[in-house]
Every structure is written in structure tokens, then in C-alpha cells.
Structure 1
């Protein structure tokens, strides 16, 4: 169900925070219940742990923390920590204690952001409340700006709560009057990584995340031309709200591009056309998610500036980078895949059972990094002989790996289960699922289309036949052909993985063995050997092992 955030509504009530632990470690989360905006407090585990650490290790803080009426005093405590120019850190304190101090203050000032925005709405349009709240939060979550404000604070004239609230009200008024803030600028400027992180915290999951990210790509293009770069716009109105035409054109671009092989799998898996209203709803969800999530509204330059000042920025709110449009193929994933730990012992046994010449050539080729010609010159053997030995030995080892993985026995069932259960939202950390997504993009248009209709939209064969104007037999033929091609392409990919795995295994094994042999030779102490001498020592070692 698409959430509708565009309705006029009253300002939601902010729940009270029970104790000091919550007052200094939670942030406001905007959620939707029954199409009504609701505010909740979201915990930040890293801040909770830091509070408990200081409660245990710092006597002054512990005394303050035990009294719920000492919120202002605790805020002043963190203000002193944040202003500690000596940068002194006790043995028990975290290395990023100043950054955490600013996060505690921002968490505490969340309530002041709410009340400042709400008070302003008494004399202004209540529909601007969300915008006002975001303006205020952008300020308190910017450590550099917050520092500038707190430096000017004079405890003799007002308490810190009153001072911050008045400062936020003035800042919101100024920002709103000169159009310095726009929710649409926030949406336009944030990276895919930041937006994905915010959407996840907001409760959006795949495949909807990929659909939203893809939609924003085309909304940004349309919005840039129609609004931001439009020569007819009023000066100072760069980030004005989009209109129905902007969303309509965005939907048109989305629907044209979604059928191309370059579109993310989650997008192409659903052939239903999106509407302008759907694009608008998705963009509103993005804005809500970004406004709710502190790490999304924190300007990047602030963190950069803090690091220049010696701050260490570490927060559990940081989101791992997600390349939504790419398939991961790192070596770490490959090593953790279906080629499990038993491959090492079986490959070692196979290598050690080979003839002396086969072992030597493999070890020298992979261990010393010599090419075939160099190796032929060193061993006094024809290059063609070297090539033949390498090919024969590699095939033997690949056959050993194939006996472990036995892909021919499980690929067919795996493809069937994946199509039925995970086609909509593949798990890209699973190398085999990522390979299947890549394989689908290489299928012909008719095969991709039949998979999208049958497994993506789960339309039955009779309706598909009617929609495509072909017979049921043709539907069955296309489905079988598409599945067979997926199986074949997956087998091809598995063969590539096995070769790559073997290449890396042989390199690591050979280099480790050579290092061990040379280390164990007593005459090598404080002596640099030539390559020929190293080859001789390794060859002698192999020969001794065989006899």
C-alpha cells in the first residue's frame, strides 16, 4: 500500500521521554499509522552505550544521570565535553568522544526542534510544520553550526533549553522567509546510499527500495530541467515544489526505461506501468525518510570539517554502501560461496599426488610468477611442453573441484526455487542469485518478458497467452527455454568461478610453500638468493617429499 503524506493534518503529539537515557540517545521518527502522521522515539545504540559507560566511569556524570530533573545539567556536561580543546581522552573514554557529545546534545535538542516548529505554526500555516521541523533538525545535527550557537550561550541570561528554543525559532523564520530551505532540495541532493539507508530505517524493504531509487533518478532529471534550471523561474525560487506535469513526465521516463536490460532487476521484474501519482507518493516517502533519519540530514561538509579538527566520526547510524544498480563480485564473496572449506584439503591431495614435473611447473608458474616462456628457459623445456603440462594439471584440479560442488546436480532445482520465491527481490550478497540476475539481463526480450509476467506479476498462463496473443503451447515453450538458458548461463558462471578459485588457490598455495621451503633452509639466513637458487631449493624439496 502506498502511503499518502500529502493530506492536510494537525500537528502530531510528541510522546514524552521517560528518563535521561532516552533524552540523550533517541531521535524523532516520523511514521504513518492509518494514513496519519505519528511521532515516535527511535533509539541510537551507540549513544546508549556511551551514556552507560560514563555513568559507570565518571562520578560527576553518574550523579547527574541518576536524577531525571537534571536534563539541563547533563546537556551542559556534554557541552563541556564537546568544547574540550585539550582533546584529552581518559583510558576508558571512546576516541570519538567529542563527536558523541554533539550527538547527545542533538538528541536532547530534538524536543526543542519540535516545540519551536509547533510554536511557529500557531501564527503561520500548520502545513509548514514538517518543513519547520526539518529546518530545525538540520541545524542541531550540524556539529559546526551547533558549536557556533552554544559558544554564544550565556548561562546568566537564560537556561540552555530556552536559549536553544529561541535560537531555533529565529533560524526557522529566517530560513523560511528567504527560501533557504526546500524539502525538494533535500530529496534532490542526497545520494542513493544516504536515501537507501534512510528508507530502510523508515521501514521500506526490497523490492520497493529499488523501485523508489529508480523513480527518483528520472524525477531528478525532469525536476532539474523543469524547475531548477528553468529560465522563467523567479529569482531565489530555485527549489520550488514540483507540479503534476513533473511527476507525469517522470513516470513516462520510468516506464520507457524500465523495460531495458540496463534497468535494475527489481524494476524490470514488474512490468506494471507506474503513474504520476505513484511517483509523487514515492518522492514524499523519500522526503519523510530523509527528514526522519539524523544521518541523512547531517551535511557531509560538517563531518569533513570535524575530521580536519581531529574528530573521529564513528556512528552505528552510518549505513554500509549499497550499489543498488550493480551486482557484487568480490573475491571475498566468491571464497565464501559454494566452494567450501573441504576444497583446500582435496586440492592439496590432488597436487601432491601428481608427477614431479607437473608439481614443479605448477609451483614455479604460480609461486614465482613466471610466464610460460620464462619458465621454459629456466627449466630447459619447450614452451609448448610447459603449456601442455599446465593445461593437463589444471583440468585435473578443476575436476576435483567439480566433484565437490556438483553443480550439474543442483542448478536446475536452484533456478526453479529462485524463480518461484526470490525473483522479486534477489539477495545480492548471495553470489548465485546475483549471477542469475545478471543472466536474466542477457536473455532475449521475449524470454525476459515471459519471466516478468509469470514470475514477476504472477499472471497465469491463460491470461499471458491472451495478453501476448500467442498459444498456451508457445507460453510453455518460452518458459522452458528461458529456464534452460538461465541454467546454462549459471553453469557457465560457475565454471568461471571454479577457474578463478583454482587460480587464486594455486597462487596462495605455491607462494606459501616456497616461502616455507626457503625459510627452513639454514644457509638462507642473512643471504639474498638469486631466482635460480630459489628454484633449485624448491625443486630439491619436492623431490625429497616424493622419495
Structure 2
């Protein structure tokens, strides 16, 4: 495939799934023409996917052009697909399918583009490969929290900005927004978090509290509502607050079905004969072609960071690591071999891992501009353990 044709396809094609499996590629003709015109008018521009990814990202930051954003969405399709595959493999008991995770990943494009800093990471795809799986884990955590959070707990913790954005997304009229907002303000002012069950399981207000909320609303409506409205009742305000919780959930944790990037197959799109991204041949092709040099450089940098940290450990600690990872001895066996106490051996092993993990996190923040989450730390910790096993295994 010619280099320029490959660039055109990367920035104008989208994955379509069917029955939770890869179905086909769709090419957006408008995107295809747009990038083709760019390439034809710039004959001396490099035929590099990374060059064009950074170019479109710069255009997006400077102009917020929707067409540019769709180019980048197309470019990150494979990264999102692999993130979805990785997530479904880790969360086998989840209620979501591969298509659900893929849709969630596509919905995170805007966040990924905002967080990507080309001054700290030279590859948008490399950044997305690291960041999207972490974002999906955070989404799952948030959705789980939302599922167990009562309406009253949700209304207590939501901010005014989020509330108004939720109302705007729901398409409410200005007068209805004003009434809902005032009801929420009265509720939040009077419903004090003094229940012992924690903030996620706050119960429905008691009858006397409902009465106080209603009285406060009816007093404040005369000053805070621009249009004259009749006095409200407990039933009406409870209905408003319950509906408000529905709007807030829909805004903060939208249903998966609403996240899908719909690309109709009409005069603006056509099917495109590309390999199935789930095939082994494409995996090999991706490893060989997509940012191979950049990935190799990053792996070399990580290796150097970890080896440098290893060298800072004293000789006795180095010996403990060799016995544990290279010879496969258990901690009690190491205690017997080195005539050291069990707590000392355990403490040194833990301290070594913590020091190396801290160095790895610092490198990720400085080089890849990645926000560290608990999920990402867990992944790095697992990867570090594998690296130690492989590293010392080479010396056997």
C-alpha cells in the first residue's frame, strides 16, 4: 500500500462492529477528500502518520474544528478498539460488551485530545494506548458508584455547574430549570449529611424535613423566580428532585447506547476493504508499522529508568532480589540463606518495588503526560513484577 494512501485511510475510516465482533471498515468520503486535498497541496510534507496526527491535533487546539476532531477520531479507532478488547478481557464479569466498551472509548476522544501534550509525548497514538484503558476503568468505577448511590446522596454531592449542564442537556425550559434549581437549592441547604451510613446511602428526607424544604421553597420562589408561580407541595417538589436525579445521572453517566459514534452508510460513506483489526496478522503489522521506532525508544527509556533505580540499592538488597526473582527462593528460604529476620527480608522487597514503581510513575508523568490513577498504578505494579521476573530470569 502506498504511504500516502495509507495516511488517507488512517484518518478517514471507522470501525463498525456487528454482534460484538468486527464487521467492516467504513470510509467517510468527506474526510477522505479533505485529507487527500491536503496531501496533494503539500507534496513535500512527510508521509508520516505521527506528523499528521500532531498536525491535526494542533489544528484542533487552535480552531476547535469539528472536521479535524473527526479526523482524529478516525485515527484513534484502532487504539480504542484495542482498549475495548483489553478492558473486556480484564473485566469478564462486567455487564458491558465489546461494543459497549468501544463506544465508551470513542466518547472519550475529547478528553484524550485535551489531556494530550505533544511537548511531553511525541505520539498521540502512544498516549491514547496508555490513557484510554485507564479512562475506561475510571468510567466503570464511576458507574458502579452511581448504581449504589441513592438519589438523595447524588443530589447532595452534585455541583451547581453540573446540575445546570444536566438541565441544559435534558432540554428543559428556562422556567422549569429555575423551579428545579430552586427546589434542589432548598433541599441541599436543609438536608444535612449527618446520617451514619456514609454519603452513598443517604436516605429519603423525613416528613418534617420535607415540610421545611417545601416552606423554604415557597418563601424563596417570590424572590428567586422571575415568573410568578403558584405555591408548591411536597409531592411536586419530591417529583422535581427525583427527576433532577434522573437528569444528573444521565448527564454524568450516560447510557452506553447514547455514546456511539453513528456513521450512516449513505452517499457520504462506503465500505472499505481493510483487515479485521482482531486478526493476528494485523497485530503483527501494527507492531511492525505503527510508531515502531517511538515505541522502541520508550521501552528503552523505561528499561534505563528501572535499571538505574536497581543500581541504587545496596549490595544485600541486590542479593535478596537475585535470590527471590532469579533463583526463585521463597522468603523463608532467603531468611535461612542470609541469616536475616523475616520482617527485614519482606521490608526490603517491598521497598524495592515501591522505589521502582515510583520511578516508573514519575517517568510516565514527565514523558507521556499521563494522569496517574489507582487503576494505572495497579497496572504498572503488575507490569513491574513481570519485568523483574523476566530481567532476573535472563541471568539464569
TM-score, length basis structure 1: 0.28
Q: Higher relative CO (CA 8 A, sep ≥ 6), structure 1 or 2?
A: 2
TM-score, length basis structure 2: 0.36
* Structure index of larger Rg: 1
